[in-house]
Structure 1
């Protein structure tokens, strides 16, 4: 039963990673893609089946053990960057980037020195034999990093939770926090098991083994669903805002054409049909520009007449742009972009 659930989790992780490929090709969500790829590799190598298969393909010399811990460190750095980008209004700062890059690089170099300088007898990814203190230190570099990351993520989610008003977003944050708690529990268990083995202990109790397996199954599910839910909410808001933006652009174009027909010097917009205009990806930029040009024309030539319907349309566009700008300033940096800011 555990094996079926385990492979179902792996399939979900790899499926989510593949679903992000189109966005990456369009230059979006690259950080999330690289995290999901590293996370899928790491979680797959926890299982004995994939671990043994990969190790056999690499010559059966145990280098898969090093790959597992290296990808785990990369996961830590990417996930911390992802969380800080999502919950911080200032986004991922250069300092945070340098800390993540050099911290991960330093730990992987330390692990490489320990791994290739010792002749460990590695039977599986979780094995540490009696007296293997260098291997214990090696494993602790990953586990301590995971605990620090989990605590940092829980704190960040708690901070973001207080700022959010959307119930679904709050649920997503709770799921991510719960996943981090399970990761911490798994790490504590593994650290205890490793210390026990290094000091000559034999065997692991059924309860400890059950908790360890349960954490490896539930943690990736909660983290994947929580992050996926947050991503889905951001994507749905994008689609809703884009649909409204296109409708307003379609409606304001005749007014824009009428007011600027004899005053082309007031416009920086190139002639384009309404259908072609609404099909373009930068519709928000065109909407903002045409709104500004209409307002400029009305200010410079106040004798221009507007119908009540046209005046109401201008108010709707102004409200839409203001809401988009307020949402950008007042929410965290998720998958949304602020095209209106770029049009200024």
Structure 2
């Protein structure tokens, strides 16, 4: 089931990214194209087969996992920009792109790199699972590394949540409000990943479901906003929400 979810999510992201290519070439909403392209790459690097093949080409030291972390950071940063600007959430935009947001990104990025360098990462392993199974200091470092990697996406998701809640309660078109519901669900799912370190081992499959649910919610939500713009001929989401009053 997990493999089906992974490949179906990859296919969905890839199709939407391909559909955005003509618009991106015309210079229209390139941020949205970059989001879908980055998410497609992130999902590809999350699947064991492609991950192992790519990582072995890079030297077999799990450099692909480090690349994956920064691909996710780039994707969620673009999501934060697109959603806060699209919904007129100026406070949220500042928290993503301003000094606080940049400080959080820089701190988390540094932590991720330092922790990765401290791990004996030899041997390609999707999700660094084999390294965790070794036990000892490396297993603990992998946990810290994973927690650091989840911190920035969770931060951006929590920043986005108030604007999404306000949009759901607004008088925006139903399609946009549905998109806001999905984006809010995706934000909550990402925030829940902060609890992974305290989750019991038997909840492993649930972690995959939460991760891929978040991706699908963001992809479908952004696609609905795109469809709403095409239908109504304007940026229907760009209205002040209660968070800006």
**Structure 1 residue aligned with 2:177, among 161, 170, 175?**
170
Measure, in 1, the Cα distance between the counterparts of 2:122 and 2:209. Answer: 27
Whole-Å separation in 2 of the counterparts to 1:103 and 1:20: 30
Q: CA deviation at 1:28?
A: 1.6
Unpaired runs of 5+ residues, structure 2, are: 241-245
**CA separation of 1:209 and 1:154: change in aligned 2, threshold 3 A:** same
Please list, as runs of the form range in 1=range in 2, the aligned pairs for 1:1-344 lying within 5 A after superposition. Answer: 1-88=1-88, 96-99=96-99, 100-101=101-102, 103-120=104-121, 123-127=125-129, 128=132, 129-132=135-138, 133-189=140-196, 191-192=197-198, 204-205=201-202, 208-238=203-233, 331=239
Residues 210-262 of structure 1: per-residue CA shift (max 9 Å, x gap)? 31232233322222111100111012222xx7xxxxxxxxxxxxxxxxxxxxx
Say which structure, 1 or 2, has more relative contact order (CA 8 Å, 6+ apart).
Answer: 2
When normalised by structure 1's length, the TM-score is: 0.59
Hey, which of these two has a bigger chunk of helix by percent?
Answer: 2
Do the aligned residues in 1 keep the contact of 2:31 with 2:82 (CA within 8 Å)?
Answer: yes
Contact 1:32/1:82 (<8 A) preserved: yes
CA contact (8 A) 1:13 1:36 kept: yes
CA contact (8 A) 2:128 2:142 kept: no
Q: Distance in 2 between matches of 1:60 and 1:44?
A: 17
Aligned counterparts of 1:86 and 1:14: Cα–Cα separation in 2: 23
> Highest CA radius of gyration, 1 or 2?
1
1:300 paired residue number:
none
Q: Are 1:120 and 1:135, in contact at CA under 8 Å, matched by a contact in 2?
A: no
Measured against aligned partners, the alpha-carbon deviations of 1:86-134 in whole angstroms (never above 9, x if no partner) come to: 2226598678534455543443344223323443356331433433344
Seen in structure 2, the aligned counterparts of structure 1 residues 92 and 25 have a Cα distance that, compared at 3 Å, is: farther
Cα contact 1:150–1:184 (8 A) shared by 2: yes
Structure 1 residues 83 and 65: CA distance shift in structure 2, 3 A: same
What SS does the aligned partner of 1:119 have?
coil
SS in 1 for 2:60: coil
Question: What TM-score comes out, normalization by structure 2 length?
Answer: 0.80
Partner SS, residue 125 of structure 1: helix
- The CA deviation string for residues 294-330 of structure 1, in whole angstroms up to 9 with x for no partner, is xxxxxxxxxxxxxxxxxxxxxxxxxxxxxx9xx79x7
Question: Residue 163 of structure 1 aligns to a residue in which SS?
Answer: coil
Count of residues in correspondence between the two structures: 234
Quick one: distance in 1 between partners of 2:172 and 2:69?
38
